[in-house]
Amino acid sequence: MLYRGKFADGGDGREMASKRQRTVDAGSSFYGSPGSSYMYNPSPYGYVSQPPPPPFPVVRLRGLPFDCTETDVAEFFHGLDIVDVLFVHKGGKFSGEGFCVLGYPLQVDFALQRNRQNIGRRYVEVFRSKRQEYYKAIANEVSDARGGSPRRSAPRAKSYDEGKDSAEHTGVLRLRGLPFSANKDDIMDFFKEYVLSEDSIHIVMNSEGRPSGEAYVEFENADDSKAAMAKDRMTLGSRYIELFPSTHGEMEDAISRGR
């Protein structure tokens, strides 16, 4: 059962990751939840001090491969509840660092046990982190995405652009880089200029039945999917989303792999 108690900063892990709030409710109290290690037990002897609220469950990663994906991080922390993954960029390039928000505080200790284990050929260092460090990284990424970021304004590789431009449109787009907490409503809002239904949106799951960070969207026609490519690398929340022309076959294969 996923831990749902309140963290020290006033929100549970999944709420924080899905909304990535910069402001938190001051003075929130914590009373624990069934199954948590923090329980409030009334004392027959009068007032007792409440246990301190647990820390926000986030770790910092260093030494990530430069082609690392959110799915790679989720597999690295296999068995843990991954709420969000944030990659850090410096000077417009991926720095090899990132943050991972976990489902509840106790899982931080398990995450630290993965320190210096490998993703691909590179070992990854895992450190304790704090809510403030995670939020600061989010603020920097959002600032870069909204204006003046070398990562956003620099021309992409010619072959990358040409591949997308020359691809035949079938009415299906693949989305990459979605927050793990993103749902169909979020995607419909991202494409609010187009007529979409919940049945036309397919969030891809990994082998464990958890969101992989990818999704497929079926538009009414190929012209709409081609026009929607204008939203390539625009942000959903604080994450920029990559779009790729796709096919119904590719979509069905990806969906079936996650079943």
Tokens representing 207? 């082998």
Does any domain span residue 186? Answer: yes
* Total length of the chain: 259
pLDDT in tens, 179-234: 888 999 999 999 999 999 999 999 998 877 888 889 999 999 999 999 999 998 88
Compute φ and ψ for 7, nearest 5 degrees. -90, 170
pLDDT in tens, 42-77: 555 555 566 777 789 999 999 999 889 888 999 999
Does any domain span residue 236? Answer: yes
Beta-strand relationship, 58-62 and 122-128: antiparallel
Does any domain span residue 27? Answer: no
| Helix H or strand E segment including 164 | helix 158-166
Does any domain span residue 85? Answer: yes
Q: What is the pTM of this model?
A: 0.51
| Whether residue 162 has pLDDT greater than 50 | no
The sheet carrying 201-205 orders its strands as 201-205, 211-218, 172-176, 242-246
What is the predicted pLDDT for the residue at 217? Answer: 97
Does any domain span residue 141? Answer: yes
Task: Print the domain residue range for 242.
Answer: 172-258
Beta-strand relationship, 172-176 and 242-246: antiparallel
Please tell me whether residues 141 and 192 are part of one structural domain.
no
Please tell me whether residues 128 and 183 are part of one structural domain.
no
CA 84 to chain centre: 4
Does any domain span residue 44? Answer: no
We report the CATH number of the domain holding residue 91 as 3.30.70.330
Does any domain span residue 81? Answer: yes
The total number of structural domains in the chain stands at 2
